[in-house]
Amino acid sequence: MKAVVCTSYGSPDVLQIREIEKPEPGDKEVLIKVFATTAHFGDTRIRRADPFLVRLVYGAFTPKKDLVLGLEVSGVVESIGNAVTNFKEGDEVFAFTGFGLGGNAEYRCLPAGVGTPHRKGLVAPRPENVTHEESAAVPAGGLTALKNLQKAGIREGQRILINGASGSLGTYAIQLAKHYGAEVTAVCSTRNLDLVKSLGADKVIDYSKEEFTQTHDEYDVVYDAVMKSSASLCRGILKQRGVYLNNTRISGPEHADLLLLKDLVEQGRLKPVLDGTYSIDDIADAHRYVDSGRKRGNVALTVSA
């Protein structure tokens, strides 16, 4: 099968399209034929070996043999293992591929069980009211934003400020915070003001005109989705028991979380924002764009027609 192999650590040119062996599902696994996947910030960090921890997990000097990136997929179940009862051939699914990655390929085997730890991957029926490119872009960013907001215990009537509101995490966080009934202030650049308003932001701060840590408002939650500030810098805008979030120390997502995202997409309450779709053959260009740090929402990759 065709896959994107990370042959070394470095620039996007280390990514090569190669033929590797098509996987066979184990007893408790499904084999997913991948229609769409993404070029994710997490993939680019592994490719760059940033942070250093990447080398401990994926190979110290060079990536382990046939390391395939890709944290999320959308596609169809092509076959199932003998012990699988909750999926059948032909089911349309989306999935978080876990820390074994492997989504940037024509096929990916993942555990079907609902009790599987997220690091091994999570599979669920996909929201069928959106394209495969859109549903592929939900699991990684959607789950991370959801677990952050759940960690803060976000609830109706609270005020949340989201920095980096135009990125993958930010666009999901705006919509999820609105789902929980919070009042959202979104921080972004001038060019993204309309985008964040369209996703439900009640107030906006243009960071090119105003420093959000110096506003006179106070928030129950400050979520720095792009990790450009710090808890101490945000202390002045947090209420006394306010919570600062920056994607660290969040609990692992579960199947129920992926199902919640599916339901919200189907209800039209969560819209995956795509900033372009590339063919998987153009993976290096997709990574270059993600590396720029300017993407709005997510970058999808089309694998099969």
Ligand X SMILES: NC(=O)c1ccc[n+]([C@@H]2O[C@H](COP(=O)([O-])OP(=O)(O)OC[C@H]3O[C@@H](n4cnc5c(N)ncnc54)[C@H](OP(=O)(O)O)[C@@H]3O)[C@@H](O)[C@H]2O)c1
**Residues of this chain that bind ligand X (CB under 6 A):** 41-42, 45, 140-141, 144, 163-164, 166-170, 187-189, 191-192, 207, 225-228, 247, 293-296
Question: Six-digit token pair at 233?
Answer: 């810098």
Residue 70: CB minimum distance to ligand X, A? 13
At 2, which helix (H) or strand (E)? strand 2-6
Of the two residues 107 and 289, which places its CB atom closer to ligand X in the complex? 289
Of the two residues 88 and 191, which places its CB atom closer to ligand X in the complex? 191
Residue 277: CB minimum distance to ligand X, A? 15
Q: Are 95 and 121 in contact (CB under 8 A)?
A: yes
Of the two residues 127 and 170, which places its CB atom closer to ligand X in the complex? 170
Q: Are 81 and 26 in contact (CB under 8 A)?
A: yes
Residue 12: CB minimum distance to ligand X, A? 15
CA gap 140, 114 in Å, rounded: 17
Of the two residues 247 and 304, which places its CB atom closer to ligand X in the complex? 247
Residue 141: CB minimum distance to ligand X, A? 4
Of the two residues 121 and 164, which places its CB atom closer to ligand X in the complex? 164
Question: For residue 226, which phi and psi values (nearest 5 degrees)?
Answer: -95, 5
Place of tokens 């872009």: 137
User: 11-20 long-range CB contacts below 8 Å, 24 or more apart?
Assistant: 12/47, 12/283, 12/284, 12/285, 12/287, 12/288, 12/291, 13/284, 14/47, 15/47, 15/69, 15/283, 15/284, 15/287, 17/280, 17/281, 17/283, 18/66, 20/66, 20/68, 20/105
Position of minimal CB gap to ligand X: 167
Of the two residues 82 and 208, which places its CB atom closer to ligand X in the complex? 208
Residue 113: CB minimum distance to ligand X, A? 23
Tell me how long the chain is.
Answer: 305
Question: Six-digit token pair at 232?
Answer: 């101490």
Of the two residues 24 and 194, which places its CB atom closer to ligand X in the complex? 194
Residue 258: CB minimum distance to ligand X, A? 13
Residue 27: CB minimum distance to ligand X, A? 30
Q: Is the dihedral of CA 66, 69, 71, 77 positive or negative?
A: negative
At 137, which helix (H) or strand (E)? none
